[in-house]
Structures are given as C-alpha cells and as structure tokens.
Structure 1
C-alpha cells in the first residue's frame, strides 16, 4: 500500500539512496540536470531534517521510500509575478521518485495527492516550475497549465505551471 506522510529525520538515508538512483538514471539517459542532482543528493535528502513539516514522502508498506516532494507556500520569485505569489497556493518543489518504479507513474500520484490536499485545505492553486521542456510537457499531461517560460540570468529557461485545485475531481481520503 502506498502512503504519503510527513518526512522525518530517519528518512534521510532512504531519501539519499532514492535521489542518488534518480541522478544515476538521469545521467544514464543523458538528461542535462543529473549533475546538479548528483552534487546535491545529501542536501536534498537533508530537507527531511531542515523542513520536516514541508517535506512529504511516498512510502510503500510504510517503510520503503518511493518518492518525495516538498510543499511550500512561496514559489520561485524568478518565475512568478508578485501578484501571483500573493495568491494562496501550494508550490511543489523537489519532487523525486524511484526510477525503478517509473511504470507506476508515482510522480503523477504525488501531484494528484498534493492537488487533493490543497482542495481539502481550501488552497486554490498548486504551482510548480522546472527547467526541462520534457518535464514541463509531462506536468501538462497531469493537467497543469503552462503559464509562461522565463529566461533566467544564467541563460536557462524556467517553465511556470499551475493547476486550479478547485476545478479538479478529488478522491476522498481513506
């Protein structure tokens, strides 16, 4: 059984292993951001100790970590306008899933869970951004709407996406 729960410090080794596996998968598939992920594995996994109320893990049978995401109340200032940032929204950041379980579409499951959680809490929108056109397309397949593409000062492109949680159909929590 898959369960989303708040992360805790004991999750750090499992998170680090999963994030490293994702980085290795990205490298093997020649995805350009693998270096950043690989360089920051322990920092990303350490969010479970620095931000335990914001980081969530997807577990199977209560122990095996299959994925994670961080839910913030503020979004990247280089991607969203001040007016948009002032709206009540969740901002999904650092969503990672076990690459060996890609066939299960765990990233989509985590996004659905976050949208459902937002709707139940009266949060009107779920936002996310990314630097990969393929990832932006994947998020659009999850019903996120591309709002804009922004060129950053480092010469990269950031894609801003949003989903209105009040318009989605939600499954009641078990």
Structure 2
C-alpha cells in the first residue's frame, strides 16, 4: 500500500536519496534539473515554513511534493490568488517504469484540495516537455507562459475533485 503523509526530519535522508536517483535518471537522458535539489528539498522536510508531503511504501520514500496554501504572486493575478487553491511545488518521484508516481501525487493533491474546501490545484514547470506531459497525460490546463529568472515558466491548474478510487492512504492525525 502507498501512503502519503507530511514529511518530518526523519525523512530527510530518504528524500535526498530519492531525488538523487531521479536527478541521475534525468542526467542520463540529458534533462536539466536544479543542482542541489536533493539537499534543498530534504532540508525542507519538517520545516514549518514548507509543507512537504512524502509518498512512502514499506518505509521507503518514493516521492515528495511541497504544498502551499498560497499561489506565488509572480505567477497568478491578485484575483486568482484570492481563490482557495493549493499550489504544488517541487514534486519529485523515484524513477519507476509504469508506476506513474507523480500522477499518484497529483491525484492525491486534487483529492486533498477538494476535501479541504479548495477549488483548484495549481502548479508550474520550467520544462516544455514536462508541461506537455502534465497537460496531455495528466489533464492539467495551461493558464499562461511567462518569463521567470530568464526561463519560461508554464503555469497550470486543475479543478479540485474527489478521487474515490485513489490508491493512497493518509494516516489519521496528519
């Protein structure tokens, strides 16, 4: 069974190892990634400023995402930011053929948002191929493209909705 829960400091090594495996996979394929991502995201686990969630199975970290209650000013209008939404940042998964762990995390976020009274889930990507995957395979809608720190940012959203067949458990009390 897959579980998703808020990360704590005890997850830092697992997060770093999982992101390390993903960045090695990306490097082998010539894909760009943020150098130092493993250490940066791992340090956020258990930090109250960041709400990092981990996807785990049998005690091992298979993925993580950072969930914010507020959408970034640089990507969304004031009107959009006034709407109750979640913003996913820094989603990472262990490379795995056919498991679609990122899609599992995205579906959990849609369900989590709906259960907590949000109307949508938002995310961004800096790689056009990743944006295409999110939109064409996972069903996200591209809202806009904009420049951010010299790179094109692709800003996307999906309506929050319950996922009754979601194969992820959330421990009670979290």
Q: TM-score, normalised by structure 2?
A: 0.88
2:41 maps to which residue?
Answer: 44
CA drift at 1:172: 6.5
Name the Cα RMSD after superposition.
1.7
> Could you tell me whether the CA contact under 8 Å between 2:19 and 2:37 is conserved in 1?
no
2:147 maps to which residue?
Answer: 151
Determine the C-alpha separation between the residues in 2 that align with 1:134 and 1:120.
30
1:69 matched to 2:62? The reply is no
Structure 2: 5+ residue runs without aligned partners? 170-174
Determine the C-alpha separation between the residues in 1 that align with 2:113 and 2:84.
10
Determine the C-alpha separation between the residues in 2 that align with 1:82 and 1:27.
37
Structure 1: 4+ residue segments shifted above 4 A:
none
2:122 maps to which residue?
Answer: 127
- In structure 2, which of residues 111, 119, 135 is the aligned counterpart of residue 116 of structure 1? 111
Determine the C-alpha separation between the residues in 2 that align with 1:108 and 1:47.
22
1:83 matched to 2:76? The reply is no
Higher helix share: 1
Structure 1: 5+ residue runs without aligned partners? none
> Could you tell me whether the CA contact under 8 Å between 1:19 and 1:41 is conserved in 2?
yes
Q: TM-score, normalised by structure 1?
A: 0.88
